[in-house]
Structure 1
Amino acid sequence: MNTKRWIALVIAAAVLVVSLLVNSVFTIFQNDFTQNLDEMMIEQSSGLDETVLEDGSANSRIAVLEVNGAIQDTGEASPLLGTVGYNHEFFLQQLEQIKMDDTVKAVMLKVDSPGGGVVESAKIYDQITEIQEETGKPFYVSMGAMAASGGYYIAAPAEKIFVNQETLTGSIGVIMQSINYGELAERYGVDFVTIKSGPYKDIMSPTREMTDEERALLQEMLDDSYQNFVDIIVEGRDMSEEEVRAVADGRIMNGRQAVEANLADDIGYAEDVLAHLRNDFDLENAEVFEYGTSQSWASLFSVKVQSLFGADLETQMLTKLMTEYSAPRMMYLYGDK
């Protein structure tokens, strides 16, 4: 072969080698990109971010959950007003993630709540006990300034409950309230016209007095929910029903009284609870983390709106009207919402 043929052959070989190299690099990049994309999609689908509170082993972790505020499912918060507080769906999502995540070995649940809805409290209780039964992951509770009524209900299944000296807890029981402004309306000449399909359809109406029959119907419902409350404490705290009923009359108590009544195990702050959890379950080197959510443009916009309007009384009233139920319902609740 002449020189030109040799040069052409070398160029062809070089092109082939470069082509193979480029294809290999592209394939590797594509696989890595696809894997990373899949991981990102999984993370986005869960809607949960993680913030490390204390460094440690990523394969042996302690999750910190927090219930702060009234336990109510108020639905989707208004993007315009951007209400802040307890988010029921978000909390249930955290529990579901803990159930599926094998790296989570234990949970510290921080409770600062006056309680809330009967259904919402029961849902949290059911998911906690499900995690305990199916995975064996322990829950330790750290009570804050208040963990009353439904706040105690969700704490009852924990392996240990810690309180502060000044924690307000207890308030074991059920309440259902409405307001009767019938006489006031009559004084001002306001007439309410009600058409109903049955005698009890407007039970607990704010425009008339309740009958004895209606009161008996509602009392039976509340008694059932109260019995459920007593039963979960009997099971969770290993107490007799008589022992529970002795303090389950709606009374509130401080931390010392709760420990003496066997409704709590010890006095301690959150850092003490975490130390006990590490020591009791050989988690000295465990990473400690909490969940969060990525801020969307809507949530960022809500912050701007809040800063624009401020927390004035009219905004608070509008928020309350838009996010809270108006119909009376049974509550595991101490004090006002």
Structure 2
Amino acid sequence: MSDQGNWQQQAWQQPQPQQQPQPQQQPQPHGYYQGQPAYCAPEPPKKGKGWIVGLVAVLAIFLVIVIGMVSCTSMFTSMGSFPSFSSSTVSDIDYLTGDAVAIIAIDGTIQYDGTTSSPEGLKAQLDKAEENSHVKALVLRVNSGGGVATAGEEMTEYLKEFSKPVVVSSASMNASAAYEISSQADYIFTAKTTSIGSIGTAMQVTDLSGLYEKLGIRIEDITSADSKDSSYGNRALTEEERAYYQDMVDQINETFIETVAEGRGMSVEEVRALATGLTFTGMTAVENGLADEIGTLDDAVEKAAELANVSSYTTVKLQSSSALDMLDLLDILGASASTDDLSAALKELEHDGASIR
């Protein structure tokens, strides 16, 4: 081997500095951190968050664009730049510039929850329709099986006080307290297969005493009167209590019958004969007088406009909240991001300790 080759071999094989032997690391048991106990599992490797930032940025840009479009549309609408047609729909009653038919949905259980299926929620929207001079008539889109009797009574009274024409469009169900409200309308549409009617009142008291006895549970109620605990379910009703509750139900039901008779222009006896507590099909309801005609929501809107003597109109939906939810926003934008992608992003951000409000 030449001297040059020996020199290269020596250069590449220079002795390395002697290193001190390192103490051998003892394996740490799972759940320890630097030798100290910790109530956490080893952290998984961090994943990149670039796609999350990109998704949020895209949604933010689209949101700004939508807000700008809505603002411009609102401005032009308030200036009267858009004519009103019978097929158009406005989402905000304050932007109306011509005759309109308002639509209020009564959907779900009649109760006190602040929605349009409650006295407070319905009255708030009725007041808007009453006070706006552009609203000439109202359509109630009803899809409810009833609910709290007192809530239905209050909503019925509010509808009686409404001065403009009211037409009901019945969806899959218009029963019990929902029908009591509907009976005050000037005209009722129903589908052929709608379950409508169910004029009746029910009260339920569950007796769990037999079950408690089998489980070895003994309950003592300390009351100011013998019947104070009659509805608690800890014992069976006495005959006197059962008669008392039956009389209460009969009184409430009688007001139901009278209200329907007044609203539908029928005699009390005619309505009482139909007050079986059962629903009828839409076809039968038209025959027995509980509804006027088979038809759709569009038919109800046209009828409301006819009763108000308007031929050119728009429609406006009145609801408890006018804010768009995320799904509506994605539909408007036509964004490629799916709800699953957005959900995954939010979960990952939450996992990283970020606060989303």
Per the TM superposition, whether the score is higher than 0.5 is yes
Contact 2:96-2:134 within 8 A present in 1 as well: no
Q: Could you give the per-residue CA deviations for residues 102-143 of structure 1, whole angstroms, max 9, x where no partner exists? A: 2221000010000011111011101110113xxxx0100000
Which one-letter code corresponds to 1:115 in the other structure? Answer: G
Q: Which residue of 2 aligns with 1:73?
A: 112
User: Alpha-carbon deviation of 1:272?
Assistant: 1.1
Q: Is the 8 A contact 2:169 2:300 kept in 1?
A: yes
Corresponding residue for residue 95 of structure 1: 126
Q: Does 1:110 align with 2:141?
A: yes
Tell me whether 1:244 sits opposite 2:282 in the alignment.
no
Secondary structure in structure 2 of the residue aligned to 1:115: coil
The answer to whether the 8 Å contact 2:110/2:177 transfers is yes
- Taking the TM superposition and a 5 Å limit, the aligned residue runs for 1:1-337 are 52=90, 58-74=97-113, 86=117, 89-132=120-163, 137-292=164-319, 293-295=321-323
- Aligned equivalents of 1:181 and 1:288: distance in 2? 52
Alignment partners' CA distance in 2, 1:217 and 1:267: 41
| Partner amino acid, structure 1, of 2:180 | Y
Which letter does structure 2 place at the counterpart of 1:209?
Answer: A
CA RMSD of aligned residues (A): 2.8
Structure (1/2) with the larger helix percentage: 1
- Asked whether the 8 Å contact 1:141–1:162 carries over to 2, the reply is yes
Structure 2 residue ranges without an equivalent (≥5): 1-88, 326-338, 345-357
Q: 1:74 to 1:178 in 2, by over 3 A?
A: farther
**Using CA pairs below 8 Å that are at least 6 residues apart, which structure has the higher relative contact order?**
1
Offset from partner CA, 1:239-297 (integer Å, 9 cap, x none): 11111111112121100100011000000010111122223332221221012424499
The secondary structure found in structure 1 opposite 2:258 is helix
Q: Which runs of 5+ in 1 are unaligned?
A: 1-50, 76-83, 298-302, 309-337
**Which has the larger share of strand?**
1
Shift of 1:87: 5.6
Q: In structure 2, give the amino acid aligned to 1:92.
A: K
Distance 1:74 1:279 in 2: 33
Counterpart contact for 1:57–1:286, Cα < 8 Å: no
From the superposition, tell whether residues 149 and 58 of structure 1 become closer, same or farther in structure 2 (CA, over 3 Å): same
In the TM superposition, what whole-angstrom CA distance separates every residue of 1:4-53 from its partner, at most 9, and x where no partner exists?
xxxxxxxxxxxxxxxxxxxxxxxxxxxxxxxxxxxxxxxxxxxxxxx716
Determine what percentage of the aligned residue pairs are the same residue. Answer: 33
Q: 1:85 to 1:272 in 2, by over 3 A?
A: closer
State the distance in 2 between where 1:158 and 1:166 align: 20
The secondary structure found in structure 2 opposite 1:58 is coil
Q: Distance in 1 between matches of 2:131 and 2:180?
A: 24
C-alpha displacement of 1:182: 0.9
User: Which of structure 1's runs of 4+ aligned residues deviate more than 6 A?
Assistant: 53-57
Question: Which residue pairs with 1:81 in the alignment?
Answer: none
Q: Match for residue 43 of structure 1? A: none
Structure 1 residue 57: deviation in Å? 6.7
Does the C-alpha gap of structure 1 residues 225 and 61 become closer, same or farther in structure 2, counting only changes over 3 Å? same
2:193 and 2:281 in contact (8 A); partners too: yes
Contact 1:71 / 1:150 at 8 angstroms: preserved in 2?
A: yes
What is the CA distance between 1:85 and its match in structure 2? 9.3
Tell me which moved more, 57-66 or 182-191: 57-66
CA distance in structure 1 between the partners assigned to 2:279 and 2:222 by the alignment:
42
Q: Give 3-state SS (helix, strand or coil) of 2:127's partner.
A: helix
Q: Quote the Cα distance in structure 2 between the aligned partners of 1:242 and 1:119.
A: 23
Whichever residue aligns with residue 111 of structure 1, its letter is V
TM-score normalised by length of structure 1: 0.66
SS of residue matched to 1:112: strand
Q: Residues 165 and 178 (structure 1 numbering): CA distance in 2 closer, same or farther, change over 3 Å? A: same
- Judging changes above 3 Å, is the alpha-carbon distance between structure 1 residues 208 and 232 closer, same or farther for their aligned structure 2 residues? same
C-alpha distance in structure 2 between counterparts of 1:216 and 1:152, whole Å? 27
Aligned length: 240
Preserved CA contact (<8 Å) 1:69 1:85: no
Deviates more, 1:185-194 or 1:287-296: 287-296
